[in-house]
């Protein structure tokens, strides 16, 4: 019985603290909007989408109009669901959901409510089931996808290594995004006069053996954006360097691990794009369904000159010109 009383006391206490946290605002010119942020997991790219959003709101001098509450699900879909449910219960004005499971949790929790959801870093919003089409969601969801076209990224490889014939791709058999990108690469590479040689692994411990098979057959390696490959980047670069082969990629955050060049998605810019949507929805009363899903407008070029020099690659003038812009 004592325990039950203790538990009840605890519940009452936290409840009081909770109600103190939730502030009710009165609608006027300076109305402050509450944005609940669900970030699925901590990751440099995902962090950048939040920083980009805050940067845009700040640069528009509107940051004082928003109360931003950030919650992280630590990679657990069940926690993402709980966070979303709490945001709905607290009556936030908008949910900003970063990564696919966070977007799905937010979409599910806002069923039967008018709370708009702005998503980001979701590779396939239609595939995730949160929008009907990229042009018009027909739901309370809009946002930005991070699906970048692979073609310019492979074109970069050709531009830096005009003699390259075979490009090696390592991917995780257990991840949908890696598989999709590799299939895309096999389709696009021949158009650029190259062959894509792919090899799948199911575990990070198999990377060394897979690279051992791959490296003798290829002129360069391309790092796809799947989580396993991203985690193994340092090892992949190390093994490739021993064979004197460059590694390209599409995630700028991995450049300092030894990628030669990246023509990739700038997640900070994706966050800024989402910031425009947030202002549109909350301040201009635009419905999410009327805002088409944003795509990466332009990729950003990054070159690791030190690494290029070490591998004896001369950076073509055309790239240096682009870099200067």
Cα separation, 235 vs 178, in Å, equals 18
Listed ranges 100-108, 152-160, 212-220, 310-318: which one lies at the site for other proteins (CB under 8 A): 100-108
Which H or E run contains 142? strand 141-143
Can residue 114 be called a binding residue for other proteins (CB under 8 A)?
no
Kind plus residue range of the DSSP H or E element containing 279: helix 267-283
Q: Torsions phi, psi of 11, nearest 5?
A: -60, -45
Among 48, 50, 56, 104, binds other proteins (CB under 8 A): 104
CA distances, 267 to each of 76, 137, 160, 247 (Å): 22, 22, 24, 21
Task: Choose between 66 and 248: whose C-beta lies nearer to other proteins.
Answer: 66
Q: What string marks each residue from 179 to 198 as x (binds other proteins by CB under 8 A) or -?
A: x-------------------
Q: Quick one: which of 44, 75, 193, 316 contacts other proteins (CB under 8 A)?
A: 75
Q: Does 34 bind other proteins (CB under 8 A)?
A: no
Binding mask 146-175 for other proteins (x = CB under 8 A): ---------------------------xxx
Q: How far is the CB of 85 from other proteins (least distance, A)?
A: 5
Locate 143 and state its tokens: 């946002």
8 binds other proteins per the rule CB under 8 A:
no
Instruction: Name the nearest CA neighbour of 36 among 122, 127, 105.
Output: 105
- Based on C-alpha coordinates, what's the Rg of the chain? 23
Dig out the tokens for 104 from the structure: 């799905």
Q: Does residue number 50 form part of the binding site for other proteins (CB under 8 A)?
A: no
Check residue 200 for interaction with other proteins (CB under 8 A).
no
For residue 229, which of 169, 304, 176 has the smallest C-alpha distance?
169
Give start and end residues of each alpha helix (H) in 44-138.
44-59, 77-90, 100-109
How far apart (Å, rounded) are the C-alpha atoms in residues 262 and 269?
A: 16
82 near other proteins, judged by CB under 8 A: yes
Segment contacting other proteins by CB under 8 A, of 48-56, 101-109, 157-165, 234-242: 101-109
276 contributes a contact to other proteins by CB under 8 A: no
Residue numbers at the binding site for other proteins (CB under 8 A): 1-4, 7, 11, 14-15, 17-18, 21, 39, 42, 69-72, 74-79, 81-83, 85-86, 89, 100-101, 104-105, 107-108, 112, 127-130, 173-176, 179, 202
């Amino acid at each position: 019985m004592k325990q039950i009383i203790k538990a009840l006391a605890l519940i009452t206490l936290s409840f009081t603290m909770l109600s103190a946290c939730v502030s009710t605002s009165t609608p006027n010119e300076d109305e402050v909007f509450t944005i609940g942020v669900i970030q699925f997991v901590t990751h440099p790219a995902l962090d950048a989408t939040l920083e980009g959003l805050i940067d845009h709101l700040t640069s528009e001098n509107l940051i004082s109009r928003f109360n931003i509450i950030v919650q992280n699900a630590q990679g657990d879909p069940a926690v993402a669901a709980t966070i979303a449910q709490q945001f709905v219960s607290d009556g936030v004005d908008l949910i900003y959901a970063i990564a696919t499971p966070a977007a799905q949790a937010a979409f599910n929790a806002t069923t039967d409510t008018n709370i708009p959801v702005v998503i980001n870093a979701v590779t396939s919003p239609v595939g995730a089931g949160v929008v009907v089409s990229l042009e018009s969601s027909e739901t309370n969801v809009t946002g930005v996808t991070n699906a970048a076209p692979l073609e310019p990224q492979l074109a970069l490889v050709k531009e830096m290594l005009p003699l390259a014939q075979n490009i090696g791709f390592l991917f995780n058999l257990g991840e949908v995004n890696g598989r999709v990108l590799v299939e895309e690469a096999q389709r696009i590479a021949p158009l650029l006069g190259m062959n894509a040689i792919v090899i799948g692994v199911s575990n990070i411990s198999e990377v060394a053996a897979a690279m051992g098979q791959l490296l003798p057959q290829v002129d360069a390696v391309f790092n796809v954006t799947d989580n396993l490959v991203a985690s193994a980047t340092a090892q992949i670069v190390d093994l490739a360097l021993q064979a004197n082969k460059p590694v390209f990629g599409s995630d700028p955050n991995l450049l300092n691990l030894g990628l030669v060049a990246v023509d990739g998605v700038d997640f900070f810019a994706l966050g800024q794009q989402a910031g425009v949507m947030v202002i549109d929805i909350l301040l201009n009363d635009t419905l999410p369904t009327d805002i088409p899903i944003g795509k990466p407008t332009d990729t950003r070029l990054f070159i690791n000159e030190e690494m290029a020099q070490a591998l004896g690659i001369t950076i073509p003038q055309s790239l240096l010109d682009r870099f200067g812009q």
